[in-house]
Amino acid sequence: MHYTTGQPARADQPLNNTFGLTGVGKLIVDPTTLTFEGQRTGITFGGPPRIALADVANVDYNAATKAFLIRTRNGNHYIIVWTTSAEDAETLWALLPQEKTPEFKADQEHHDRFAKAMKVLGARSYVTPTIIAINLVVFIVMWLAGANLVNPNSEVHIRFGSNYGVLTWTGQKWRLLTSAFLHFGIVHIALNMYALLQGGALVERLFGSTRFALIYLLSALSGSIASGWLDPLRNSAGASGAIFGVYGALLAFMAVRRQDIPPSMLKSISSSAVLFCLYSLVIGWAHPLIDNACHVGGLLAGFVSGAILSRPFTPEARAVEQPARLAVAALVIALPLALLALSAERRLEGRLNQLDTLMRE
């Protein structure tokens, strides 16, 4: 049998099992145990992975592809295998437990309801691809204007509206928003747009396009203001603050509307979002050039606005627009941001006075 389809794996494609098994192998079935033999990735200890037959439940079998999804009863382990012949597939299916646990059945039914709701309420996302397109167009225009693809030209970024504190906090507040659509080089925009593509479409479908757009803009502003407050002399740009806000809103929805999400999906998505945020923040703290203040500011704004704007994932709830709730979300985020912006202006004045004193000395 095979532990992969035989097709070349994509870079972002996860393993088809929790044991790191790849390629061609064997499945040995005895009266009490399943033993999986084959090549494994990473560091391994002991012999081949084994699962007691008594711990196996909720197996899925696709006769057309001769594929099996074998799960443990507690859900801690899973493995997908492809048998090499239809005869082997039928033999294996007869040997495996056929039990479907009540929890698994309930989760599958919830998946079906969620999928139907997604087709009605979130069939397409419009804001996410529009934002990505705007970022790409701006990036190309800046490149043509002299911004380097690898080594950024700060003068070009400042001219196009980066969040340069000396200008932002002395009258050019519009830079707080325009900077969220500028990027320092090809790697910067590639990473940000990939992260936005991965999370944005789902979050937009969960909240609706209007609410998603508000969350994105509030998070972008929050990230820019937090960045300028921490270092008022910094020249910053990028969509990462807004993107952290997108993932913050996703976590808020999972917390506030957890009953609307199938349990297995809730666990998977929440874990992925938390790991993305933690990993990115740790990398940010380790690299001084990464604007972690922007990340934290965007994340907090996204979580708070997401908690306010979350609503039941049903057609009935979506039919009520609730403009007052949009206004509340905007005010709750805007008021502390206004105070933080005033503090940033004073911090800039203090820093400039310090520099002036040093130059005179």
pTM: 0.81
Q: What ranges do the domains of the chain cover?
A: 21-100, 118-360
Q: From 111, 57, 42, 69, select the one nearest 268 (Cα to Cα).
A: 111
Q: Is 252 in contact with 302 (CB distance < 8 Å)?
A: yes
Mean pLDDT by 10 residues, the chain (361 residues): 64 68 91 92 81 94 92 90 93 94 90 86 86 97 92 92 94 96 95 94 93 97 95 93 97 93 86 90 86 95 97 86 93 95 92 79 67
Q: Contact 273/266 with Cβ under 8 angstroms? A: no
How crowded is the C-beta side of 188, counted as CA atoms within 13 Å? 23
At which residue do the structure tokens 């990027």 appear? 183
Q: According to CATH, what is the number of the domain 21-100?
A: 2.30.29.30
Instruction: Count other C-beta atoms under 10 Å from residue 294's C-beta.
Output: 32
Catalogue the active-site residues: 240, 295
Structure tokens at 263: 């349990």
- Could you tell me if 269 and 249 are in contact, meaning their C-beta atoms sit under 8 angstroms apart? no
Residue 95 amino acid letter: L
pLDDT of the residue at 15:
63
What is the token pair recorded at 238? 């990028």
Q: Is residue 215 within a helix (H) or strand (E), and if so which, with residue range?
A: helix 209-230
| pLDDT of amino acid 216 | 98
Q: Say which CATH architecture domain 118-360 belongs to.
A: Up-down Bundle (1.20)
Q: How far is CA 47 from the centre of its chain?
A: 36
